[in-house]
Each structure stands twice: as structure tokens, then as C-alpha cells.
Amino acid sequence: MTLRARLVLALLALALLPTAVFTAFTLVQLDRATAHWFRPGVDRALESALQTSKTALVRMEATVTARAEDWVAALPPAVLAPERRAAVREGLRASGLDFMQLYRRHGGRWERIDQVVPPGVIEARGVDLGPEIDAALAAGRVLHSPRGALAAATPLDSAHVLVAGMWVPPDFFADVARVSEGRSHYSRLGVMVDVQRPYTWLLVSGLMVALAALAVLLSAVLARPLTRPLSELAAALERVAGGDLTVRLRAHGARELRTLALAFNAMTGRLAAAREALKQAEREAAWREVARRVAHEIKNPLTTLRYALHRVQRRAALVPEPERQAVQQSLDAILLELENLATMAEQFSQYARLPEPRIVPLDLGEVARAAAALHEPGAVRLALGGEPLRVRGDRLLLSRAVHNLVINACEAGPEAPVEIRTRAEGALAVLEVLDRGPGLPPGLAERAFDPYVSTKDRGSGLGLSLVRDVARQHGGGVTLENREGGGACARLTLPLDLEDGREAGTG
Ligand SMILES: Nc1ncnc2c1ncn2[C@@H]1O[C@H](COP(=O)(O)OP(=O)(O)OP(=O)(O)O)[C@@H](O)[C@H]1O
Ligand SMILES: [Mg+2]
């Protein structure tokens, strides 16, 4: 399993586990709570309360209707005569009614024209049931008035209606209706809870799945900056294993990952430099071998040639005039070229074997002065600091190196004097050879120090190569670059001899 997959799984578990436990707990608690609310006892109590109130109402309606019928048969459709009033009031009390009202149709409305109440009952003057009579007549004659009356409306003739009944509390009918409504609402709720329970579980499970998907997405996004630099590192390591040392990592992500990338880049950098140095050393070893063989192959025949030539020269005296002079001249020319060849062979063999250096403390300024002394007076200008520039090195090898730089400078710009400057720069001793020649030919800067690279007709191309070898032998380096204002500057740097305070040696 990849690191990224592992991270995603871990983050997912971290996000979902507490949520799942919490949700399951909540659902179980919810189930328990609903089971409490919908206990069968509550349902039965509500049902019997409803039945009781309904039965009482039906009985009251039956009583009111029956008594009203009786009174209709006994009374005329007119205002009651005063002499009968007392008897009717007593009759009302006996029949258990609270009032009796007589209405007459007048102008499309029922108008109250008389009211009788039993003794002890207060006469309710304001209660006019006229507006409710038509509805009662249409529906079984029973009248449920929100004004607080349960009555029966019975026609006496086409224009008169007798309304007889009892007073009830004004909210009586509304209360009965509310009990019925409450009961049906309660049972509906119970059914709904039963039906909705699986849906609730389904909804919660769906939510969990959605949450899991979201968590996977989020954790994938979060894991990315962690795993990407690591996969880049793995890929880069593979390339390094395949020999590609140019690969570099982009430093990004967490601090530790950035450090890792920088360390990796430094490592590949060092590896590349080491490989380059190795290649260079191999190339040089090969060149030295070539130089050694060439020098060897030339030197042996040269010696034979030289002896043979000397023998011929001795016999040249025997050649009769006038040819003698021409023969002598030709022999001299051959000898000159032979000497040139011998010098070249000597250079080759010098290049092939650099002698082991004899390291002593010395003043680099002294070396510069000695190199300048080999040239015409005024050809080399010296700019040496007052203090001796202490280094440790082989006087002969260092002189040869500086001499080579000065020869190059003189050859480059013969008309202007060459300048040698020395100075200390931090822990380094610096010696610069400056000229006002044409500067480096284009494209040569990188190759100038390679052996056999020369732009001169009679140049061997070994001068700078020797300078570099000597510099390296002494733990230093050499560069060659163009100067501002024309010309070139060769810079030789050597480590300053900081420990040794003695006078520069003379050996
Ligand atoms: N001061 C300089 N100005 C311009 N070009 C230079 C200078 N020094 C070196 N070069 C260039 O670098 C090349 C290599 O120099 P190097 O000293 O190795 O060989 P060379 O001078 O050509 O031959 P040799 O030193 O063996 O006689 C030169 O041929 C020349 O083109
Ligand atoms: Mg040279």
C-alpha cells in the first residue's frame, strides 16, 4: 500500500470513528425517547376521555331535543301570557332546561320575541341565538352555540321557532373538538414516528456515507503535500541510480522535506563534481601517457640523428670548395631543427612526469620578482605589496608556473608591459599576471587549461596545463579571463601560510 493510501485511511478513520459512535448513540436515544412518548396508556386515556365527553354531549342533545318537543306541543306560537308564565318557569325547572326562547321570522331574520327561564337562573338578556337557527334547522335541529348554549330549535309554525336548552361554558364545544383533534393528532404522530424510523436511519446512514466521501476527498488533498515531495525524491533517487547526476529537487512542502530536498541537491552536486574530477584525472593520465610515449619515440631517433649529423659535420671539411659552404649551411639548418625537435621532446617528457615537489616556506613576491628578471628590463612591471606573501611550495615548480603565465602575457601583447600583482585575500595569496593583448579567443576559456590546446603556430599547448597542475599540487587554483578595457588576467591562488611565521626560505 502506498504512503498516500495509508495517510488517507488514517485520516478517514480519525474523522469518521467519533462521528459514527456519536450518531449511533443519538439514534438509540431518539428511539428510546419516542417509545416513551407513545406509551399505549396515554393513548387509551385520551380515547376514553374523548368517548366520555362525546357520550355526555349526545345525552345532553337527546334531552334538550326531547324536552323542546314537549314544550312545542304545549305552547302557542306567541308571547306567553303573564298568567301562564309562573307555571311554565316551574315546568322548565322540572325538565332540567335553563332557558326557552321564542323567535319570529321578520325581514329575513329570526328575531327574539320572548324568553322564559326557570326560577334561580339568571336571565341572559344579550344571548340572541337568531343567527344560528337556520343552520340548526338544516342539521338535525341541534344548536351548538359558541355563545355558551346547547339547545334544540323546533318550529312552531312557518314564522315561529322555539329554542330550548341549557347554558354551557363558552369554550365547551371547542374543548370537546380539541380533545378529539388531539387524540387523532397523537395517533397520526405515532404512526408517523413508526413509518419514519427506518427513513431516519437511512438518512443518517446516507449522511455518514457522504461524510466518508468528503473525508476521503479532504484527506487526499491533505496528504498530497506530504507525499508529493517524497515521490519526487524516490523518482530522483531512481534517476541518480541510473547515473543521471544533473537531477535536482524543488524544495517545497514542510520544513523537514525542504531540508531533505536541499541535502539531496547538495549530495548530487558533490557527486557530479567528484565524477567530473575523476574524468578529468583520467583524461590527464591518458594525455601524460601519450606525451611520455611521443617523447620516448622522438628522443631515441633524435640521439642517433644527432650523432650521425656530428659525424657528417666533421667530414664536411673534406668537401671541396665552392660546395663546402652550402653543405655547411644545410647541416646547420638541420641541426637547428633537430635542436627544436629535442626541445619539444623535452617539453613532452616534462609534462609526462611532474617531479615530486619539495615544499618549503617562501614569499610569492620573491617568485614573481625572479620570473620578471628572466625578461627584458621594463617588459614586466611589478606591483607587489610591502609585506612578504607567505606560502608553502616548491620554488622551482612555482617559478615555472609563473614564468609560463608571463610568457603567455608577453606573447599576447608584446607592445604594452606585462604587469604582475600580488596581494593577500582572506586566507589566500593571489598572484595576477595582466596584459593588454587581444584577450582570450572566443570559446577557448573552458579549454585553455587542457593539454595540447593552443592557438599559436609553434605552441605546444602545455603551458597552462602545467600551471594548473602545479597550482593543484599546492592546494590552489588558476583562472584565465578577459580584463575590462582589453587584455587578459591570469590569476594564480595559493593558500596563505598562516601558521609559519619564519622568514621565507631561500632554498
Ligand atoms: N594572456 C593570454 N592572452 C590571450 N590568450 C591566451 C593568454 N594566455 C593563454 N592564452 C590562450 O591559451 C592558449 C593555451 O595557452 P598555453 O600556454 O597552454 O599554450 P601555448 O601558449 O599556446 O603554448 P606553449 O605555452 O606550450 O608555448 C594559447 O594558445 C592562447 O590561445
Ligand atoms: Mg604558453
Atom of ligand 1 nearest to the CA of 462: 26
Q: Is 188 left (phi over 0), alpha (psi -120 to 50) or beta?
A: alpha
Mutate to test the pocket of ligand 1, among 287, 403, 456, 457 (most ligand atoms within 8 A of CB): 456
DSSP code string of 232-289: HHHHHHHHHHTT---------SSHHHHHHHHHHHHHHHHHHHHHHHHHHHHHHHHHHH
Q: Is residue 240 part of a domain?
A: no
Q: Is 448 in the pocket of ligand 1 (CB under 6 A)?
A: yes
Q: Is 316 in the pocket of ligand 1 (CB under 6 A)?
A: no
- Measure 465 CA to ligand 1 centroid, in angstroms: 10
Q: Are 417 and 378 in contact (CB under 8 A)?
A: yes
Task: Look at strands 477-482 and 488-495 and give their pairing.
Answer: antiparallel
Closest CA to 151 of 110, 201, 195: 110
Q: Are 165 and 66 in contact (CB under 8 A)?
A: no
Pick the last residue of a domain from 352, 383, 413.
Answer: 352
DSSP code string of 297-319: HHHHHHHHHHHHHHHHHHHHTTS
Phi, psi of 160 (to 5 degrees): -125, 140
Pick the last residue of a domain from 287, 317, 352.
Answer: 352
Q: Is residue 42 part of a domain?
A: no
The number of beta carbons lying within 10 Å of the beta carbon of residue 195 is 9
Query: Are 404 and 457 members of one domain?
Result: yes
Q: Are 403 and 470 in contact (CB under 8 A)?
A: no
The residue whose CA is least distant from atom 12 of ligand 1 is 448
Domains identified in the chain, total number: 4
The residue whose CA is least distant from atom 8 of ligand 1 is 408
Query: Are 33 and 181 members of one domain?
Result: yes
Q: Is residue 506 part of a domain?
A: no
CA 247 to chain CA centroid, nearest Å: 22
Handedness of CA 388, 392, 397, 398 (dihedral sign): negative
**Residue 210: domain span:** 3-37+177-232
Query: Are 164 and 212 members of one domain?
Result: no
Q: Which three cell numbers stand for residue 58?
A: 349526545
Q: Is residue 48 part of a domain?
A: no
Pick the last residue of a domain from 319, 352, 385.
Answer: 352
The residue whose CA is least distant from atom 1 of ligand 1 is 409
Q: Is residue 124 part of a domain?
A: no
Q: Is residue 95 part of a domain?
A: yes
Q: Is 454 in the pocket of ligand 1 (CB under 6 A)?
A: yes
Which domain CATH number covers 380? Answer: 3.30.565.10
The residue whose CA is least distant from atom 13 of ligand 1 is 454
Query: Are 181 and 33 members of one domain?
Result: yes
Query: Are 213 and 263 members of one domain?
Result: no
Q: Is 451 in the pocket of ligand 1 (CB under 6 A)?
A: no
Query: Are 181 and 217 members of one domain?
Result: yes
- Measure 436 CA to ligand 1 centroid, in angstroms: 14
Can you give the pLDDT at residue 349? Answer: 84
Q: Are 249 and 232 in contact (CB under 8 A)?
A: yes
Q: Is residue 504 part of a domain?
A: no
Per-block average pLDDT, block size 10, for the chain (507 residues)?
Answer: 84 85 88 78 82 89 90 86 89 90 92 91 82 90 89 91 91 86 85 84 89 88 86 92 90 88 93 85 82 83 88 88 87 88 85 80 93 85 90 91 93 90 95 96 90 87 91 95 95 89 43
Q: Is 467 in the pocket of ligand 1 (CB under 6 A)?
A: no
Ligand minimally distant from the alpha carbon of residue 490: 1
Q: Is residue 53 part of a domain?
A: no
Query: Are 374 and 471 members of one domain?
Result: yes
Element (H, E) at 494: strand 488-495
Q: Is 443 in the pocket of ligand 1 (CB under 6 A)?
A: no
- Measure 276 CA to ligand 1 centroid, in angstroms: 24
For residue 146, say if its preceding peptide bond is cis, omega within 30 degrees of 0: no
Query: Are 471 and 442 members of one domain?
Result: yes
Q: Are 42 and 261 in contact (CB under 8 A)?
A: no
Q: How far apart are CA 233 and CA 249, in angstroms?
A: 7
Ligand minimally distant from the alpha carbon of residue 489: 1
The residue whose CA is least distant from atom 6 of ligand 1 is 440
Query: Are 370 and 487 members of one domain?
Result: yes
Query: Are 11 and 83 members of one domain?
Result: no
Query: Are 224 and 302 members of one domain?
Result: no
Can you give the pLDDT at residue 155? Answer: 92
Q: How far apart are CA 405 and CA 432, in angstroms?
A: 9
Ligand minimally distant from the alpha carbon of residue 409: 1
Classify each residue of 458-486 as buried b or exposed e, where b means 16 or more C-beta atoms within 10 Å of its C-beta. Answer: eebbbbbbbbbbbbebbebebebeeeeee
Query: Are 491 and 394 members of one domain?
Result: yes
